Structure 1
């Protein structure tokens, strides 16, 4: 069994525990350098994954019903969020965009087979655009979209498994609100000194920080792949929160 098959089997086994949940099973997956950077300090995007690790990413995409990024990732990278380097179905693309900033020229606005879903706030000004499906959700006083409401709505729309790829604000928000179930991390053997993937999680008690258990590791080309279940000591007492 190769590494891709091993991770696929593990992920599918994890999902069975969440079959009756009111939200999708959430897999957080991204690539970082050895010093934890995901972009340069300037914010300029940086390709970190080797070819084999990139194939793994596309394999993971094909295993999920939906794939989610924040508007910052769309503006910086102009991703397509589909499956190209693996044979499998495309996930439903989803963008967290509270103030509807997605440009009309973004590649996600011109997909041939799936309309991109835009999760935005109730008072966002959105133009009529048949290329996008606009989903308005409750927000907080700052107009930020509630991640809990977003996940419940995705579940209602048939998204039972969701892959979250970034960017940093989205990654941090999902971890802060204890909404990540599994994690697959690619670590590239480079030192960048750039912008980190995870920000302040707002946890005063170090024993309450999210942790990965068990941890699995393997090499894929020149990259290190790490994966495991994300656990929270106070998971049962998690409070509902909002996300920018």
Structure 2
């Protein structure tokens, strides 16, 4: 069985056994350098994945109903978030954008078959009128900070029919999903490069080593020039659970 087949089979099994009904099944999928960096020290984006790993990313997109990034990723990388290098359907593109900074010229405004969903906070002011927007604004109740609160945001996505979600970044978004124990699985592409830049995972606020999120069981294999690491994410030694 090829690496691509292994990951597809594993994801299918995990999604089938997922029991929570208040949010989607969530997979973190991102590429990083060998030292954990995803950008240079100046914040510049670098193409890290080899062609085979890039195909895997597109395969993963096809295996999820939604794909989510933060607004900083949109502003810096202008991603398309489509499936172009694998046979499959495009997932629903979703952006976390608390201040409604989505640029009208972005690729996500010209998606081939879906209108991008922008998750924002209540009373956020858009720079364009609703009639001019090429995306759908979904408001989430504002908490004490201006960031889009992930727990109610994920509940809204599930209500809108998103049962599986792929989170591609950036670093702040990946960190927040891990900090809240919301990610169920991870697929990491590790490129044989050293960037010495910003890391994929930031401060998780952990004071007890027993609370560190960990991958178990863990699988890994080489794909092209890269090392692919994947597995289930566990917190306190178990899968994530609904809030009590």
- Structure 2 matches for 1:88-99, cutoff 5 A? 88-99=88-99
Q: Please tell me whether the aligned partners of residues 233 and 239 of structure 2 are also in contact (alpha carbons under 8 angstroms).
A: no
Instruction: Specify every segment of 5 or more residues in structure 1 that has no aligned partner in the other structure, as ranges.
Output: none
Which residue does 2:169 correspond to in 1? 166
What's the RMSD between the two structures over aligned residues? 1.6
CA offsets 1:191-214 (integer angstroms, 9 cap, x no match): 110110100001100111100000
CA distance in 1, matches of 2:239, 2:53: 34
Other structure's SS at 1:203 match: coil
CA deviation after TM superposition for structure 1 residue 131, in Å? 1.3
Other structure's SS at 2:38 match: strand
Q: Please tell me whether the aligned partners of residues 58 and 86 of structure 2 are also in contact (alpha carbons under 8 angstroms).
A: yes
Matched, 1:188 2:210: no
Q: Please tell me whether the aligned partners of residues 177 and 238 of structure 1 are also in contact (alpha carbons under 8 angstroms).
A: no
Which residue does 1:139 correspond to in 2? 142
CA offsets 1:108-133 (integer angstroms, 9 cap, x no match): 01213100000001010123234100
CA distance in 2, matches of 1:112, 1:238: 36
CA deviation after TM superposition for structure 1 residue 140, in Å? 1.6
CA offsets 1:152-196 (integer angstroms, 9 cap, x no match): 011011100000000000000000000000000000001110110
CA deviation after TM superposition for structure 1 residue 18, in Å? 1.5
User: Quick one: which of 203, 208, 226 aligns to 1:205?
Assistant: 208
Other structure's SS at 1:162 match: strand
Other structure's SS at 1:21 match: coil
Matched, 1:100 2:103: no
- Count residues with an aligned counterpart: 240
Q: Please tell me whether the aligned partners of residues 220 and 229 of structure 2 are also in contact (alpha carbons under 8 angstroms).
A: yes
- Structure 2 matches for 1:11-90, cutoff 5 A? 11-90=11-90
Q: Please tell me whether the aligned partners of residues 30 and 189 of structure 2 are also in contact (alpha carbons under 8 angstroms).
A: yes
**TM-score scaled to structure 2, two decimals?**
0.95
Q: Please tell me whether the aligned partners of residues 182 and 228 of structure 1 are also in contact (alpha carbons under 8 angstroms).
A: yes
**TM-score scaled to structure 1, two decimals?**
0.95
Instruction: Specify every segment of 5 or more residues in structure 2 that has no aligned partner in the other structure, as ranges.
Output: none
The structure 1 segments of at least 4 consecutive aligned residues displaced by more than 4 Å after TM superposition are: 234-240
